Amino acid sequence: MFDEFEEMLKQLPIKFFLTLRGLRDANKRSISYLTFTRSPLPQLVKKFGIDALEIEPFTELFNDNILYVGPYNETDARNMVMELVKRNDRKYEAYAIDFLLWATGRYAGLLRSSFRALDTLGALDANAVMTRSEQLLYELVSKRAVRSECETIWKSLSDEERAMLQEFASNRPNIDPNKFEVQQVFALLQQKQLLKVQGNRVIIDPPVFQSYVKSIPATEI
């Protein structure tokens, strides 16, 4: 099990990874490898300037077994928020908790950072949540901790993924759905649960991340 695998990939020689592949081939029923990264291995290989063909015997082990860490389910997310409420000796109305879960999409890092910012948003009653939701999202994104969590997601994406997100964040996205490359990027963002289709619309998820993407100038891609 390799945590923060980016540093290993960046620093260790290719021979090390080929040795791991050889060990696995010799012990298929006894050895499995698990890597934790912020981007898929092919993207990291390209980013670090590693010869893709030379390291392919190792990276192909993971081609059919890539899992993207998604949000908590409803029950676990509420339990986490209740634990934060108890630990920080706070008291919030149900509307505030519901807004927090919706805005963050129930992602752990965004939940923690946004929870700390709840007190700065004013009274979160039913009227505020209904009429000021977009403004509240921008206020959340302006907080350093929340923005930092959004930046972590943003920096884990490829240039193509960032460009597509910024298109969908605009009022009139200019995207050709018939292009194979576009379909690939779209499918990957769906797997990462950063894009979802609602009716005839494509929206960025979670909402606070959508506000973050809208706040980024196109020149920063």
**Tokens 């020149």 found at:** 219
| pLDDT computed for residue 38 by the predictor | 82
DSSP letters along 161-210, please?
Answer: HHHHHHHHHSSS----TT-HHHHHHHHHHHHTTSEEEETTEEEESSHHHH
Q: What percent of the chain has a predicted confidence (pLDDT) above 90? A: 62
- In a domain? residue 67: no
Residue 73 has pLDDT above 90, yes or no: yes
Give the number of other CB atoms < 10 A from CB of residue 31: 11
Name the residue type at position 39. S
In the listed set 37, 62, 87, which residue is the last one of a domain according to the structure? 62
Q: Which range among 19-23, 34-38, 135-139, 216-220 shows the weakest confidence by mean pLDDT?
A: 216-220
Q: What average pLDDT score do residues 27-56 get?
A: 91
Q: Is the residue at 220 inside a domain?
A: no
What's the CA gap between 113 and 104, in Å, rounded? 9
99 in the same domain as 141: yes
Segments forming the whole domain that contains residue 132: 74-150
Q: How many residues are present in the chain?
A: 221
Phi, psi of 181 (to 5 degrees): -65, -40
Domain boundary among 108, 124, 150: 150
Same-domain pairing of 141 and 186: no
Considering the domain boundaries, does residue 69 fall inside one? no
Q: Residue 218 — pLDDT band, cuts 50, 70, 90? A: low
Model pLDDT, residue 49: 93
Q: Is residue 118 part of a domain?
A: yes
170: pLDDT strictly greater than 60 = yes
Same domain, 164 and 111: no
* Euclidean distance between CA atoms 105 and 74, whole angstroms: 10
Question: Quick one: 85 and 143 in the same domain?
Answer: yes
Global pTM reads: 0.82
Total domain count, the chain:
3
Mean pLDDT of 62-69: 86
Query: Given 103, 129, 150, which residue is the final one in a domain?
Result: 150
Residue 215 in any domain: the answer is no
128 and 171 co-located in one domain: no
